[in-house]
Structure 1
Amino acid sequence: MKIRSCLTTDAHQLVEIYNHFILNSTATFEEAIIDVDEMINRIASISSNYPFLVCESDEQIMGYAYAVRWKERSAYRYSLETTVYVRPNHQREGVGRLLYLELLEQLRLRGFHCGLAGITLPNRPSVEFHESLGFEKVGQLKQVGFKFGEWIDVGYWQIIL
């Protein structure tokens, strides 16, 4: 497995991974699948300012992670929201951990101060994963998302880089 910067040519495989989560989970609050062109736009937009990484093995993207600005106001410029998605058949193989460790290191090297992760609740595996990396729970918003006919809470975990 190797971690590298995401390229727009990775978009097809990222769409496969992400659309699975759109259709089958509350890990994302998007409800309509996206196409390759949309993913290319997202990769280009995010990677122009922040780390966008993939984990690759034998030319297959096993997962990806990136960071985006937390909020638009200038005082938030050192705080980023972090995200990771791992291909369903490669979860619990260390892919997410490798991606996140490299993402957090790149954020530190670029001078960012705070990483934030939003986790739909309940989601014990994601909570345990983030806490194992040093994230701490800092808050919870009740019933802020509505997907699959249910109201969903979102918790926020934070790490000081």
Structure 2
Amino acid sequence: MADFEIRPVTDGDHAQILAIWNPIFRDTLVTFASVEKTPETLADYIDSRRARGREFLVAVADGTVLGFASYDQFRGGDGYVHAMEHTIILGESARGRGVGRALLRAVEEDARAKGAHTMVAGISGGNPGAVPFHAAVGYEHCGRMPQSGRKFGQWHDLILMQKVL
């Protein structure tokens, strides 16, 4: 039995999400983005996804947010309305506990129920642990885009993986 629950985000979760996410922007290659979110930009991010029918989920244990996941359309245009890309971020205490798998399964189920056919993982080459994680849950390697992202003054590869839902 899991020692956490997966549920939709609430406004009360925002501060904990920022505490997990902003160090990822600032200090890691998990994402190529480096601009930290503010309470306002996080609220806008969540609201805009929900306005398009995309859920934003959190994993919570004893009132503490362990991580979160969401998804949105992979690319713009009507030809891609059934192709989604997810975001999944875990706090350090959540790693190795099945939280990532549970969050990913939950966003996949939500996306599938809303008509998505495929889910894409865009993985930073500087986040090598994400590749075996995604492979273990059924994602297949689709390609590598060399030197597609820039962070910390260096170019980094983007690895694409995909799962048909």
TM range (shorter): over 0.9
1:33 paired residue number: 36
Query: How far off is 1:37 after superposition?
Result: 1.1
Correspondence 1:107 to 2:103: no
1:113 and 1:58 map into 2 onto residues whose CA distance is 34
Q: What one-letter code is carried by the residue in structure 1 that aligns with 2:25?
A: I
1:133 paired residue number: 137
Query: How far off is 1:53 after superposition?
Result: 0.6
1:34 and 1:105 map into 2 onto residues whose CA distance is 27
1:8 and 1:79 map into 2 onto residues whose CA distance is 28
2:16 paired residue number: 13
TM-score by length of 2: 0.93
Give the secondary structure class of the aligned counterpart of 1:112: coil
**Native 8 Å contact 2:32 2:124 kept in 1:** no
Q: Flag structure 1 segments of 5+ consecutive residues without an equivalent.
A: none
Q: What one-letter code is carried by the residue in structure 1 that aligns with 2:139?
A: F
TM-score by length of 1: 0.95
Correspondence 1:151 to 2:155: yes
Correspondence 1:66 to 2:70: yes
Q: What one-letter code is carried by the residue in structure 2 that aligns with 1:15?
A: L
**Native 8 Å contact 2:30 2:126 kept in 1:** no
1:22 paired residue number: 25
1:38 and 1:13 map into 2 onto residues whose CA distance is 14
Give the secondary structure class of the aligned counterpart of 2:76: coil
- Percent of pairs with identical residues: 29
Q: Flag structure 2 segments of 5+ consecutive residues without an equivalent.
A: none
Correspondence 1:91 to 2:105: no
1:86 and 1:70 map into 2 onto residues whose CA distance is 21
1:123 and 1:44 map into 2 onto residues whose CA distance is 28
Query: How far off is 1:122 after superposition?
Result: 4.6
